[in-house]
C-alpha cells in the first residue's frame, strides 16, 4: 500500500471515529460542549397537556383579576345607569365592559392559550420538540427545528410555577417552559429557586 493510501485510510478512520464519538455523546455532554457549564436542562414535546399547563401559568395572576374587575365595573355601571337615569353612552360603555369581562373570564383557558401561542412556544405547529438549557447567564431554548433562542437572565421578568412545571417569562412574548414531567421534583424546585433569585 502506498504512503498516500495509508494517509487516506488513517484520515477516513479518524473521521469515522469522530462521527461515532459525536453520536454517542449524551444530551448532557452535547449541551456542555455547546453552551459550557449547564445548570439545568429539559427536553420535551409540546403536546396539548404541556401547552395547557404552560397557558395556565402564562395567564395566571393579575390579568385574570382584571377581567373580573371589568365584569364587576360593567355591571355596577349598568345598574347605576338605570337607577340614576338612562344615558345611552354610559349604557354602551358599561355593556362593552361587562360583556368583555364576562367573555374573557368565562373562556379564560382559551384566552390564555391564544396568548401563549403568540409567544415563541407557539412559533411552529409542525415541529413541537423543545430543549431548554439553563446556564449561569442565560436560558437557551432549542426549537422549533434548528432555531436557538438565547434569553439572558438579566432580562428575566417573571417566574411562575405550580405542580405541573415552571414558566419563565422574559417579556416581548419570549418564554421558556420546563414541564415537571421531564425533571425530578428536587431539580424542578432548585430550578425555580435559581430563576426566582435571578429575577430579583
pLDDT tens digits, residue range 68-85?
788 888 888 888 888 888
In a domain, 88, yes or no: yes
In a domain, 79, yes or no: yes
Q: How confident is the model at residue 17 (pLDDT cuts 50, 70, 90)?
A: very low
In a domain, 179, yes or no: no
In a domain, 155, yes or no: no
- Range from 16-20, 27-31, 189-193 that averages highest in pLDDT: 189-193
Relative to beta strand 38-45, strand 129-135 is antiparallel
Domain total for the chain? 1
C-alpha 132/C-alpha 198 separation (Å) is 17
CB 97 within 8 Å of CB 105: no
In a domain, 108, yes or no: yes
CB neighbours of 138 closer than 8 A, spacing ≥ 6? 150, 151, 152, 153
In a domain, 26, yes or no: no
CB 134 within 8 Å of CB 38: yes
Task: Please state the rounded mean pLDDT for residues 1-21.
Answer: 53
C-alpha 57/C-alpha 63 separation (Å) is 11
Mean pLDDT for all residues in the chain: 78
In a domain, 7, yes or no: no
In a domain, 1, yes or no: no
Q: What is the pTM of this model?
A: 0.69
CB 58 within 8 Å of CB 167: yes
- Phi, psi angle pair for 100, to nearest 5°: -65, -40
CB 130 within 8 Å of CB 141: yes
- Range from 1-5, 27-31, 83-87, 185-189 that averages highest in pLDDT: 185-189
Range of the domain at 82: 62-115
Question: How many Å is the Cα radius of gyration of the chain?
Answer: 25
Amino acid at each position: 500500500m502506498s504512503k498516500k493510501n495509508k494517509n487516506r485510510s488513517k484520515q477516513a478512520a479518524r473521521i469515522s471515529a469522530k462521527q461515532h464519538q459525536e453520536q454517542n455523546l449524551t444530551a448532557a455532554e452535547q449541551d456542555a460542549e455547546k453552551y459550557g457549564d449547564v445548570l439545568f436542562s429539559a427536553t420535551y414535546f409540546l403536546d396539548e397537556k404541556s401547552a395547557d399547563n404552560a397557558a395556565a401559568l402564562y395567564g395566571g395572576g393579575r390579568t385574570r383579576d382584571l377581567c373580573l374587575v371589568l365584569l364587576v365595573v360593567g355591571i355596577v355601571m349598568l345598574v347605576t345607569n338605570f337607577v340614576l337615569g338612562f344615558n345611552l353612552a354610559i349604557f354602551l360603555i358599561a355593556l362593552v365592559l361587562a360583556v368583555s369581562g364576562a367573555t374573557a373570564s368565562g373562556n379564560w383557558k382559551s384566552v390564555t392559550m391564544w396568548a401563549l401561542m403568540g409567544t415563541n412556544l407557539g412559533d411552529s405547529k409542525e415541529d413541537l420538540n423543545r430543549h431548554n438549557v439553563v446556564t449561569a447567564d442565560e436560558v437557551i431554548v432549542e426549537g422549533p427545528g434548528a432555531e436557538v433562542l438565547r434569553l439572558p437572565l438579566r432580562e428575566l421578568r417573571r417566574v411562575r410555577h405550580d405542580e405541573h412545571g415552571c414558566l419563565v417569562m422574559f417579556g416581548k412574548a419570549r418564554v421558556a417552559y420546563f414541564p415537571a414531567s421531564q425533571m425530578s421534583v428536587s431539580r424542578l424546585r432548585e430550578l425555580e429557586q435559581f430563576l426566582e433569585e435571578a429575577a430579583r
